[in-house]
A and B are shown apart, each in its own frame.
Chain A
Amino acid sequence: MAQSYDPRRLVGIRAERVTDVSSRDFPGHYPGEDHSWSLERFRENLTVKIQRASERSIEFDLVGVDASIANAFRRIMIAEVPTICIENVYVYNNTTVIADEILAQRIGLIPLNVDPKQMDMKLDEDSTDRNTLVFTLRLECTRKPDAPKDSTVPSELYENYELLSGHLTWEPAGEQADVFAKNPPAPTNPNIVLAKLRPGQAVDITLHAVKGVGKDHAKFSPVATASYRLLPNIVIKKPIPPHLAEKFQKCFSPGVIHVDPRTKAVSVDEKNKRKDTVSREVLRHPEFEGYVELSRVRDYFLFSVESESAYLPQRLFPEAITVMRAKLANIRRAAEALLDQPGDTDVVMTDS
């Protein structure tokens, strides 16, 4: 039996437009109905279900929240969950063909394996062992003495012909040797090519890594992507004629529509309907007019998060919630401070 949703939860998808995009669950919108905030009701309607996870990504469903909330978490995962990245590059020598500033930009983008919990935000000019990690990068390309004469392959001809992220060496300072003993700071991937060298070319660079957030620079973003989409909903209004069953099936992503091999009866695969891309192909064919209705469920978010940092993918969402709560607490403190001021509001007014 196909699952049906309250029509109010659906965003209609027509051939050339979408309908009922905005939520209307506010007090006063529907006469005689109570839509005021209730934590109990929210808790009852909320479903969080983790669907699949790998060591690099996670997919989960967040059901029963407003788009503004889901979007806040998505935005925070991209721009406000802190990570550690190389921020300062001091070039003592660089005779490669890559200009200093280009090389510095490339080095900044290297994801590091440092858990941001272990470091503080660098708030002023003072670098300490709590807020800065130092790396060095030294490499010189030389000719291999025993290279085959007629070879043109760099790996046979030269030593150190590629500057890799794996060449970063961490220089512990202060208490860092103890703090990071279990997991010495290094790039998450040692095989990123930063520059190519030829005999006689060399680099000698010192690097400072600090804690930062994605809104300052995208290199600090802990995710490759953090996105959500709404659950597609397909309702077959009347039975599809058996001779059109396969054509109907092909209008959707593989696995979404089930056709009974014997009776050619068409049904929506409830487990797989999330795989549909909502291409609306089915709405282009006049023979299916009136047979099917497409929609999406407005409060059913299918999150997909790919970690590209020291965070395990399943940790990113709780980290985003922690950041959100810190922001809320901060604003609340400031707002409560306004309460204590005397009734005369002149004191707090600003000109802007």
Chain B
Amino acid sequence: MAELPPKVTIMKGASPDLSAATYQIHDEGHTIGNALRWMIMKNPKVEFCGYSAPHPSENVIQVRIQMYDNLSSLSALITALADLDKLCETIEDAYVADLRKKTYERWDERA
């Protein structure tokens, strides 16, 4: 099988301290793109964050992050990924807890 391209790359034109950079994430789409953008924008140190899926024939998304105070956009990205994971865990726990309570209505549905 062909060698897979790296999952995440930093695109040309990033500032040397990575306070402003565009990350190309391979084999992802709007599912991750929009959720990740939202979580990055929740960070008060982020000046700007946006994402795009440049072309349907390219299986990538590009996430642009610009930081205040010359902070690293890469650590903002990693923090956001970790926070999103915690968010998923919290939702899963809440879902499973409510499912266990069995307080929902059961009904019969014919095939």
Contact = CB atoms under 8 A, between A and B. Distances in A.
Interface string A17-49: 000000000111000000111010011001111
A336 interface: yes
Contact of A48 (B18, B31, B94): B94
A47 B12 CA distance: 42
A348 interface: yes
B85 A328 contact: yes
A324 B78 CA distance: 15
Contact of A334 (B8, B12, B84, B106): B8
A66 B107 contact: no
Interface string B11-42: 11010101000011100111110110111011
Contacts of A36: 42-44
B87 A331 contact: no
Given A338-B74, A349-B14, A43 B90 contact: yes
B65 to A, nearest CB: 11
Contacts of B12: 349-351
A318 B106 contact: no
A28 B45 CA distance: 10
A80 B41 contact: no
A345 B10 contact: yes
Given A48-B94, A50-B104, A345 B18 contact: yes
A66 to B, nearest CB: 5
B95 A317 contact: yes
A55 interface: yes
B41 A26 contact: yes
A123 interface: yes
B95 to A, nearest CB: 5
Nearest to B82: A332
Interface string B90-108: 1110111111000111111
B108 A54 contact: yes
A193 B43 CA distance: 55
A345 B16 contact: yes
Contacts of A324: 31, 88
B11 A349 contact: yes
A267 interface: no
A75 B30 contact: yes
B92 to A, nearest CB: 5
B27 to A, nearest CB: 9
Interface in B53-86: 74-75, 77-78, 81-86
A3 B11 CA distance: 49
A24 to B, nearest CB: 11
A351 B99 CA distance: 49
Contact of B31 (A55, A60, A62, A75): A75
21 contacts: A27-B44, A37-B83, A46-B94, A48-B98, A52-B107, A55-B108, A57-B109, A60-B95, A62-B91, A68-B34, A68-B37, A71-B30, A71-B34, A324-B88, A331-B7, A335-B8, A335-B23, A335-B74, A338-B8, A348-B9, A348-B10
Interface of B: 1, 6-12, 14, 16, 18, 23-25, 28-32, 34-35, 37-39, 41-44, 74-75, 77-78, 81-92, 94-99, 103-109, 111
